[in-house]
């Protein structure tokens, strides 16, 4: 069940198009088309899961659960390490597939994404034999122990980092001994299907890892509400996260959500402005701004406001070059879809209509097809503007001015989101003081978006529930049982 595809770089490969259930490829009654956002042309069609196929995938995961429990932690670790090696050997191909399917520039984005999954697989493989409980002394003849048990999990992943965000979920789940049903985004299904073949090749038993393509309103909803699933993990928009939370609450599933953001980046008057401009540029324009932690709000202290804007405009103009994702000089690819493209343009129009000053973004675009949008910079914004309050999810940034430290912190926290925040200051005490006050799950001092798989990641407020990565990410995929032990007589 494969389709022969020629990549834009001329490489030919066989693309799986079925639903990967029980280590087999199966068909469904429905297919969906995936579009190359750089050309607006159809790449291929893949089979889309309906309710029946979700039932099959969940049954496969549940049937595999008990036998998988008997596999030792060392065996799981070795399989994960083999999977990492297989993925590393296919990095060039899978990165190219993601570049075609999502529009990511191949060299500056997609390749790093796949390498990140390899790194995280190896990191989590080291956790396999470290998922342990505790011994708690109670009295001279009583104690308790806790044990951690894996789960049957449903994982729903977004289009902006197709395999990378999948890895954030399946790596810790596999380390804990979970069985998995994973639904890809209908916009970017291809790389995860390719990866599924590697899972089988690495020796994972049937039913441990199942992949379904499908529409969120059908396959995603069915997976989130399925009584055979113990836990749902989701990354995507806050609005969809709210729906999944409501659906999963029907049978009180464990739940983790990584949702939207509107991350503030504060630049104080004692900051290294050149470094602040470089990091701020990277933090909002990388991946065409399609990043939950993008620093799409920049707050600059009044004394350095004009100078920073000058440096930031220069940096953005120099570093972010629109072009074919497969061209070596391209650093800014297209937006994922026509719908998202139109949505971003509507935000740009609102920014102009509401009085923000357009500093950059109205230059002509040379590309004759594709959903390309110029890096767009607005200045003189205030917190009442739509482009400041709502997540745009594109290469658009709003710059505002503040005077005092207290005002800057208040402006930064004036949002429903709390995924990330950034602080630029040479004053060590100030940087930490402000960092403590910011309502965000990740705070970057003098950098932006340089997370590590070893460090917990997640949001405050409407940006999500739970923490991925690091030890916290491992704990997401187990249920704790307390066992009381008595070795004396009851008096």
* Residues with a known catalytic role: 258
Q: Which of 94, 96, 93 is nearest to 38 (CA)?
A: 96
Q: Is the dihedral of CA 413, 417, 418, 422 positive or negative?
A: negative
Q: Token pair 């994973």 is at which residue?
A: 182
Helix (H, G, I), strand (E, B) or coil at 460: strand
For the chain, give the number of residues: 491
Angle 29-97-165 (CA atoms, 0-180°, nearest 5)? 80
Q: Where are the beta strands (DSSP E) in 383-473?
A: 396-402, 417-418, 420-424, 442-445, 460-461, 464-465
Distances (CA, A) of 397 to 164, 309, 322, 404: 24, 12, 17, 22
Asked if 467 and 456 count as a contact pair (C-beta separation under 8 A), the reply is yes
Question: CB within 8 A of 450, min separation 6: which ones?
Answer: 444
- Greatest alpha-carbon span in the chain: 86
CB neighbours of residue 314 within 10 Å: 14
d(CA 372, CA 366): 10
φ, ψ of residue 280 in degrees (nearest 5): -65, -40
Angle 313-317-319 (CA atoms, 0-180°, nearest 5)? 115
CB neighbours of residue 75 within 10 Å: 12
d(CA 297, CA 416): 13
Beta bridge partners of 486: 142
Beta bridge partners of 211: 20, 182
Which of the 8 DSSP states describes residue 219?
I
Asked if 162 and 185 count as a contact pair (C-beta separation under 8 A), the reply is yes
Distances (CA, A) of 284 to 265, 411, 449: 10, 18, 9
Strand pairing category for 179-183 and 209-212: parallel
């Amino acid at each position: 069940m494969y389709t022969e595809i020629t990549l834009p770089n001329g490489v030919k490969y066989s693309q799986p198009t079925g639903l990967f259930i029980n280590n087999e490829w199966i068909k469904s009654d429905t297919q969906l088309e995936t579009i190359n956002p750089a050309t607006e042309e159809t790449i291929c069609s893949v089979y889309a899961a309906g309710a029946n196929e979700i039932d099959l995938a969940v049954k496969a995961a549940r049937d595999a659960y008990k036998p998988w429990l008997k596999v030792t932690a060392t065996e799981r670790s070795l399989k994960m390490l083999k999977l990492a090696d297989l993925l590393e050997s296919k990095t060039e191909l899978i990165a190219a597939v993601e570049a075609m399917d999502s529009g990511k520039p191949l060299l500056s984005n997609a390749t790093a994404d796949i390498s990140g999954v390899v790194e995280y697989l190896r990191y989590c493989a080291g956790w396999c034999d470290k998922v342990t409980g505790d011994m708690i002394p109670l009295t001279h003849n009583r104690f308790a122990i806790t044990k951690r048990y894996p789960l049957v999990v449903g994982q729903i992943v977004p289009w902006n980092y197709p395999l990378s965000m999948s890895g954030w979920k399946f790596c810790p789940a596999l380390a804990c001994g979970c069985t998995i049903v994973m639904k890809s985004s209908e916009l970017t299904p291809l790389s995860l299907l390719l990866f599924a073949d590697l899972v089988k090749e690495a020796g994972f038993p049937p039913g441990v890892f199942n992949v379904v393509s499908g529409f969120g309103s059908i396959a995603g909803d069915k997976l989130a509400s399925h009584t055979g699933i113990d836990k749902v993990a989701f990354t995507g928009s806050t609005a969809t996260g709210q729906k999944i939370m409501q659906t999963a609450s029907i049978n009180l599933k464990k739940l983790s959500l990584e949702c939207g953001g509107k991350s503030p980046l504060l630049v104080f008057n004692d900051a290294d402005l050149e470094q602040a401009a470089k990091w701020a540029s990277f933090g909002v324009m990388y991946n065409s701004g399609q990043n939950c932690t993008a620093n799409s709000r920049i707050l600059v202290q009044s004394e350095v406001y004009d100078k920073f804007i000058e440096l930031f405009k220069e940096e953005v103009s120099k570093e972010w070059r629109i072009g074919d994702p497969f061209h070596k000089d391209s650093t800014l690819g297209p937006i994922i879809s026509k719908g998202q493209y139109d949505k971003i343009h509507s935000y740009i129009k609102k920014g102009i209509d509401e009085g923000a000053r357009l500093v950059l973004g109205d230059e002509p675009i040379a590309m004759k097809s594709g959903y390309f949008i110029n890096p767009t910079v607005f200045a003189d914004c205030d917190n009442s503007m739509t482009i400041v309050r709502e997540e745009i999810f594109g290469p658009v940034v709003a710059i505002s001015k503040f005077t005092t430290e207290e005002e800057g912190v208040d402006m930064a926290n004036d949002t429903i989101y709390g995924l990330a925040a950034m602080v630029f200051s040479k004053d060590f005490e100030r940087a930490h003081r402000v960092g403590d006050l910011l309502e965000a799950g990740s705070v970057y001092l003098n950098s932006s978006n340089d997370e590590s798989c070893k460090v917990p990641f997640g949001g405050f407020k409407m940006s999500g529930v739970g923490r991925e990565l690091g030890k916290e990410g491992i704990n997401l995929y187990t249920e704790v049982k307390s066992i009381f032990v008595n070795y004396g007589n009851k008096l």
